[in-house]
Structure 1
């Protein structure tokens, strides 16, 4: 842009150039120069259209105001954006701090729960060496063939505990079972042995009780019933019967 003083010199050199006079007038108006009145007189003398001259001055005034307004708006907008940015940043920092505090609380809570579970979990019981030695299996003892066979039937005897209890009570209360060892079984006493008549109640345990109490004939009869009802174990019961007959 040409300096104002140089522009005045050009207007003096070319006094009849209306465009130069108008430009000097416009700049004097915008800068509120003291030479504005003189510039207005010279421009009016050289102008053929006074209305155009007025529009030139008015347009300059409007442009100046617009620029001022734009500058103010720019400053206000920048200030507003800055304030909004600061507010948003503060809000974001607050959210981050809140989430961090919540996360820290959750971690602490989880740690406490784990510690509480550890305290509630019972520790495994440690068996002392002496106790282990006490519960260690003992050396196997020598057993007879009959005892060995009976031990194989232990699981089956456990499954008929209720039935065996009933039979034991019957034997304990039956006077005919207290006879001397090796007493002979007589046909006329069959009515007293109703339990042998009901083959459903005859078990290996009952037969064993007869044998242990010396009632050999009843034990043999019980094993014969069991042998008839359990063909797959016929050899086993035959061995027991043979063992009893040797007594």
Structure 2
């Protein structure tokens, strides 16, 4: 599945069908930490009322950094029947009683608050998980000298300038095509912040996927 196809499904998840399902399943198998792939795969299963949805939702939810986005995305509808009971079931599967929302920073409204009001339909191209595929706002073009080589990054860390290696810098590298440098930074961040290692692994998988497509 190409990046263009992923963008199409993000903008119009109602297009997910029997043909897209095996492609997305393969994507999650090849890139298990790729959050956008999991979100689209789960949405596809839900669209088709697939019998494996519940089990796959359990498998996928633990890989999603912000489960609130997953919950809202799965419950987006194209003015179809609003199955409130099913939404409550999905809420409980994504946020089981033992899942500490506040400890992970994902403070989520109650099920009634999330599902009780009809949300405004998002504009085309403003999908809830667009952030997982698109880079952050465009940054000025940088060159090798301005950005610094990996050896300079290592030197900056050793000198105690820990702010030098940041997620923002990694995103700048990725935007400008310095994929290996971006991956290097995310690997360092993953070691520094092990509690966010799953998130950083997803960022690395995303970059690797874009490198090959």
TM-score of the superposed pair, with normalisation by structure 1: 0.27
TM-score of the superposed pair, with normalisation by structure 2: 0.30
More helix by share: 1
For the pair shown, the structure with the greater C-alpha radius of gyration is: 1
- Structure with bigger RCO (C-alpha 8 Å, 6+ apart): 2
